[in-house]
Amino acid sequence: MRKIIIFIMPLVLALTSCEKFLDQQPISSLSNELFWKTNEDARLGNAAIYDALQKTLTDSYIDWGDARSDNFTYSGTGDYQILVTMNGLTSLTNTANWNDLYTTISRANVSIKNLPTIKTLSIIDRDHYLAQAHAVRAYMYFYAIRLWGAVPVWLTPYENVNADPKKPRTPADSVINSVIIPDLTKALSLVNKNVNLVFEINQGAILAMLTDVHMWKKDYAAAIASSAQFSALPFKYDVTAATHLDYRNIFTNPATSKEAIWALNWDYVKDGGNEIALRIGSSGNTSNYEIDSVAFLKFEADKNDIRRAVAYDTNVVNALNDVTQIWKFYDLDPITAKPKYPIRAESNVKLPLYRTADVLLLRAEALNKTGDKAGAFAILNKIRTLRKAKPLVPTAFTTVESVENAILDERQMELFAESRRWFDLVRTGKVLSAMDPLIRKRQRYLRLIETGFTDPRKILWPISRDALTRNALLTQNAPYSE
């Protein structure tokens, strides 16, 4: 036995000297210490943040921001959309999972931490990348608190396997005041004022977001200030589209429009097809959602409004068929001069994230709330006139609320299917009044027992079971199942 041990010792030593043979570094990926070295690394790390944003919003843009509102109702095949449109969300609902959203946040965190370590990067470029990371992070947290209320806050990357990966939820107010607004303020101070690329965060987008966040906080003075700052930008954002072509151009070619502030570019070859083509604009007329009668009748009420024919095919209406497809985001076919529904895998929809009309209408709301009815109507009618809709007569609106309703209606038309309507209803406390009758109607149609919206606490989304399982410090939103 001893002989054997004597024999094996040199053998083991010989093997140990072969450590080099055992050092295999990744061939088709980079180990951590090799990245964040060059200016190109900064650009590519930055692109990864937007990539995660694409993955977050391709499914959820409509589901989070429109599907639960009176813009859409269930359609097509499957039962997922019935749950979403009938207040039947559960912790197993796919889009209740925030994993993609937090991936976006974590990539922003990685950029924020590592950008300053690249020595060759100019301060202007570094700050511009930092501004984008901060602003996208704020954008994601803003979605998160509007959907789930309190959420866990991560501002640095998770890097040490021994560190506790679990964090409890932070109340929404505190997220707004200590994460979102500071991030946006910081982004505003760092952003390169000379760059106005529509497919990236830019100065206008940061101010638009600030306006949006202040409105959510009901801080109308701050919203007015931010929107004023926005309108005063040298880029001169404004509403201009007065024809079908110009209006569609905001969505299909945002880089050429003063109306588009920030949009998410899409190239199906690299990014996969945009899910809009499944959710609301299916080429096979089996969209998950179809336009709800509420939104539809508002469009039909004014047939001159250019936004109507851009939203859907009016020939379908004339033929007395149901409108099951929204073609607002699609390019015109050069031969037929009509929008062409792409197949799902080849859909190149550029998601509009902020638009000038959005900021102006938020400003109108703030003005209304702060007593400037005339200012509010000036904005409202400027947009309506431009879009060939009949201007409203201010004297017909006697209360602050009636003016607010008029603005919200205008936002519904103007920002239809742009991930706005649900949040507008939540923000202004109109979910129950808008949705309870609709849900009762849908229940009757499906021969269910008519119960309505049932519980206002269901305005918040449930935390997904997946998240609850992974993180024991999370608690469920009542009344969803713990």
Partner 1 sequence: MKKQFRPIIHQRQGVSGIRILVLFIGLTMLTAANLLGQGIKVTGTVRDASGAVLEGVSVTVKGTATGTLTDEKGKYTIAANDAKTILVFSSIGFSDLQELVGTRKSISPVMNAGSSNLEDVVVVGYGTQKKRDVTGAIASVSSAQIAQRQPKDLLDALQGQVPGLQIGQSSGRPGADNSVRIRGIGTLQGGADPLYIVDGAQGVDIAGINPNDIESVEVLKDAASAAIYGSRSANGVIIITTKKGKEGRPAVDVRYLTSASELSYKIPQANAADRRLYDMKLRRNLAQNDSLNPSYNADNDYQDLLARTAVRQQVDLNVSGGNKGLNYYGGIGYLSDEGIIINSYARVLRGRFNMDFKPNPKFSAGNRLQVSYQTENRIDDGLTLNQAIQRPPTFRVYFPDGSLAPNIGGRRNPVAEALYRKNNYEIISTNLYTYANYNFTKDLKLTVDANIRVNNTENLRFSPRILSNTGLDNNGSINNDMKTYWMTQAFFNYSKKIGKDHSVTAVLGTSADNDFWRSSSMSGNNYVSETVLTFNSAQVITEATTSEQRSTSLSGFGRLGYSYKGKYLFNSNFRTDASSKFGKDNRWGFFPSASVGWRFSDESFMQWAEKFLGEGKIRASYGQTGNDRIGAYDAIQRYTFGDNYYNGASGVAPFNIFGNSRLSWESTSQTNVGLDLSFLANRLQFTFDYYNKVTDKLLYRAPLPTETGFNNVNVNVGSIQNKGLEFSVNATPVRKKNLQWNIIYNMSFNRANVKSLYNNITLRSAYWITEPGGLLGNFYGWKALGVYPYDASNAYDESWQMLTPVIGTNNLPTGAYTYGGKPYSGKVNRLYTQGNLLKGGDMIWQNTVADSVIDDNDRIGLGNAQPKFIAGLSNSVTYKGLTLSFNFYVSWGAKLYNKAKADMNRVVTVNVTPSPDYIRGAWFNQGDVTQWYMAQNNGMGNSRELSSLYLEDASFIRLRNLRLSYALPGTWVKKIKLKSINAFAYGNNLLTWTNYSWYDPEIDFNNPLEMGVDTGRYPRNREFGGGININL
What does the angle CA 158 – CA 58 – CA 63 come to, to the nearest 5 degrees? 100
158 binds partner 1 per the rule CB under 8 A: yes
Token duo for residue 185: 């303020």
DSSP readout, 313-333? -HHHHHTT-------TTPPBP
155 binds partner 1 per the rule CB under 8 A: no
**Rounded to whole angstroms, how far apart are CA atoms 88 and 144?**
20
Q: Which residues of 45-79 are buried (b: 16+ CB within 10 A; e: fewer)?
A: bbeebbbbbbbbbbbbbbbbbbbbbbbbbbbbeee
Q: Which region, judged by CB under 8 A, interacts with partner 1, from 164-172, 209-217, 297-305, 362-370?
A: 164-172
Q: Which of 60, 69, 75, 109 binds partner 1 (CB under 8 A)?
A: 109
Sites for partner 1 among residues 272-291 (CB under 8 A): 283-284, 286
Q: Which of 11, 123, 393, 396 binds partner 1 (CB under 8 A)?
A: 11
Q: Residues 196-235: x/- map of binding to partner 1 (CB under 8 A)?
A: ---xx-----------------------------------
What is the closest distance, in whole angstroms, from the C-beta atom of residue 423 to partner 1 in the complex? 20
Token duo for residue 225: 């200030």
Closer to partner 1 at the Cβ: 10 or 234?
10
Closer to partner 1 at the Cβ: 119 or 270?
270
35 binds partner 1 per the rule CB under 8 A: yes
Q: Which of 66, 324, 467, 477 binds partner 1 (CB under 8 A)?
A: 467
139 binds partner 1 per the rule CB under 8 A: no
Token duo for residue 380: 């409202």
Per rule CB under 8 A, count of chain residues that contact partner 1: 98
50 binds partner 1 per the rule CB under 8 A: yes
Helix residue spans in 86-219 (DSSP H) = 99-114, 123-148, 172-175, 181-190, 203-217
Q: Which of 68, 107, 128, 427 binds partner 1 (CB under 8 A)?
A: 107
82 binds partner 1 per the rule CB under 8 A: yes
What does the angle CA 81 – CA 146 – CA 478 come to, to the nearest 5 degrees? 75
167 binds partner 1 per the rule CB under 8 A: yes
Strand bridging mode 260-264 / 289-291: unpaired
Name the DSSP letter for residue 418. Answer: S
**Rounded to whole angstroms, how far apart are CA atoms 400 and 407?**
11
Q: Which of 125, 300, 372, 466 binds partner 1 (CB under 8 A)?
A: 466
28 binds partner 1 per the rule CB under 8 A: yes
**Rounded to whole angstroms, how far apart are CA atoms 295 and 479?**
29
DSSP readout, 215-239? HHHT-HHHHHHHHHHHHTSTT----
**Rounded to whole angstroms, how far apart are CA atoms 262 and 204?**
8
What is the closest distance, in whole angstroms, from the C-beta atom of residue 250 to partner 1 in the complex? 18
Closer to partner 1 at the Cβ: 32 or 395?
32
86 binds partner 1 per the rule CB under 8 A: yes
Sites for partner 1 among residues 339-368 (CB under 8 A): 343, 346
Closer to partner 1 at the Cβ: 163 or 337?
163
Q: Which of 6, 18, 320, 335 binds partner 1 (CB under 8 A)?
A: 18
429 binds partner 1 per the rule CB under 8 A: no
Token duo for residue 42: 């900064």
Q: Which of 87, 203, 257, 356 binds partner 1 (CB under 8 A)?
A: 87
CA 60 to chain centre: 7
Q: Which of 92, 195, 301, 478 binds partner 1 (CB under 8 A)?
A: 92
3-state secondary structure of 262: strand
Q: Residues 388-427: x/- map of binding to partner 1 (CB under 8 A)?
A: ----------------------------------------
Q: Which region, judged by CB under 8 A, interacts with partner 1, from 60-68, 71-79, 235-243, 318-326?
A: 71-79
77 binds partner 1 per the rule CB under 8 A: yes
Q: Residue 429 to residues 123, 240, 293, 311, 405: CA-CA distances in angstroms?
A: 44, 31, 21, 26, 11
**Rounded to whole angstroms, how far apart are CA atoms 134 and 128?**
10
Mention every residue, 6+ apart, whose C-beta is less than 8 A from residue 478.
457
What is the closest distance, in whole angstroms, from the C-beta atom of residue 222 to partner 1 in the complex? 29
Closer to partner 1 at the Cβ: 41 or 358?
41
**Rounded to whole angstroms, how far apart are CA atoms 239 and 383?**
7
Closer to partner 1 at the Cβ: 405 or 443?
443
Q: Which residues pair with 262 in a beta bridge?
A: 354
Q: Which of 37, 39, 48, 182 binds partner 1 (CB under 8 A)?
A: 48
What is the closest distance, in whole angstroms, from the C-beta atom of residue 338 to partner 1 in the complex? 16
Q: Which region, judged by CB under 8 A, interacts with partner 1, from 57-65, 235-243, 357-365, 466-474?
A: 466-474
**Rounded to whole angstroms, how far apart are CA atoms 135 and 187?**
6
What does the angle CA 379 – CA 409 – CA 286 come to, to the nearest 5 degrees? 130
Token duo for residue 95: 């889009």
22 binds partner 1 per the rule CB under 8 A: yes
Q: Which region, judged by CB under 8 A, interacts with partner 1, from 243-251, 329-337, 375-383, 465-473?
A: 465-473
